[in-house]
Amino acid sequence: MADEVVGEIPQVIRVGSRKSELAMIQTNTVIERLQKLYPTQTFDVVTMETIGDTIQDKPLSNIGVTSLFTKELERALADDKVDMIVHSLKDLPSVLPDGMAIATVCKRDDPHDALVLSPKHAGRTLETLQPGSVVGTSSVRRVAQLKRKFPLVEFKDVRGNLNTRLRKLDESGNYACLILAAAGLHRMGWEHRISQVLLPDVCMYAPCQGAMAVECKVANRRLVQFLSRLHDPVTLLQCVCERALLGTLQGGCSAPVAVDSQVADGKIKLTGAAFSLDGSECVQEMQSVDLPPDLLQKMEPSNSPDSFQLYSFIIAPNLSHNALHAAEQLGSTVATAMLKNGADKILEAAKQEIDARRNKTD
């Protein structure tokens, strides 16, 4: 019975989501896209708070818990309290719980970071900020890269959802600017606050930044195929590649690891980098690989085990497995080259320093 169709599409699909405004915008966006494909399907959103939402007085890297924005949602999925979860894909660790996979990777929004200035610094850029200006971010990846380019500015942690962080910027007087993900600002309708988009020569982005994803149980093959119709093939390849790099480096979503990937002219190109926390050390590698010509070829739905193979814990049963395999191998190859050049030592030193900071604050 290897070809037996497993699982079913619930009459009402329960969708797990964080409670924040941005999370709800993302969840509703995915539901709207699914309802265009399946007009008669009903969805019910189930919201909950995660560890990352409830602990607001520490930098993310200092909390000392993995899966900061996903664990409670995945527990609900495991307990059959929800059928699928909508995530910002950059929040998902490189290894998912047993039996779970990413069944949808939506078309990527702008993956880059962005500069958002306080009103009194309007018109400036990172290059023209006064020495000693305070840049707000809790990302060790951003701090490490920007310290290399802008050694005269200072960095200070800022936590909270986007609404909270922008309020702190505008009202507290403690920050000259914030560094935020451009995609989140666009989704909230706040693109007018972006003063500068940080391109990869200034600050490479986090693996899978800008992509929304849906997680579900692998065993429900009907639901996997239902969700797979939302896959964007180019974004899918980029995220398989970037997650493979992160997984091979064994870096979490808060590690000082950055990427830039491009799919063009029949190739996928990946640049990966690992940084010391102060930005003084960097190991960077860039490689590319030819993609097979069947990249965008959709295959007939199949329920054979081979069609449900995972690539960086992403499943796409109706898209080119040759292309997915090539992307995953590229991510692993780039990460392996980085490790040979000392990325393991840099990331281990960063981990020890983060652990020491956490123990000190505790």
Give the residue numbers annotated as catalytic, written as ranges: 91
Q: Please say whether the beta carbons of 104 and 214 come within 8 A.
A: yes
Q: Please say whether the beta carbons of 150 and 126 come within 8 A.
A: yes
CA distance 335 to 339: 6
Q: Residue 63: is it exposed, middle or buried by C-beta count within 10 angstroms (0-12/13-18/19+)?
A: middle
CA distance 171 to 218: 46
Furthest-apart CA atoms within the chain: distance in Å: 68
Say which residues have a Cβ less than 8 Å from residue 73's Cβ, sequence separation at least 6.
16, 17, 18, 48, 50, 82, 85, 87, 215
Residue with tokens 């998902």: 92
Q: Residue 305: is it exposed, middle or buried by C-beta count within 10 angstroms (0-12/13-18/19+)?
A: exposed
Say which residues have a Cβ less than 8 Å from residue 11's Cβ, sequence separation at least 6.
42
Q: Please say whether the beta carbons of 203 and 258 come within 8 A.
A: yes
CA distance 93 to 99: 15
Q: Please say whether the beta carbons of 60 and 30 come within 8 A.
A: no
Residue by residue, DSSP assigns 235-290 as HHHHHHHHHHHHHHHT--TTSSEEEEEEEETTEEEEEEEEE-TTSS-EEEEEEEEE
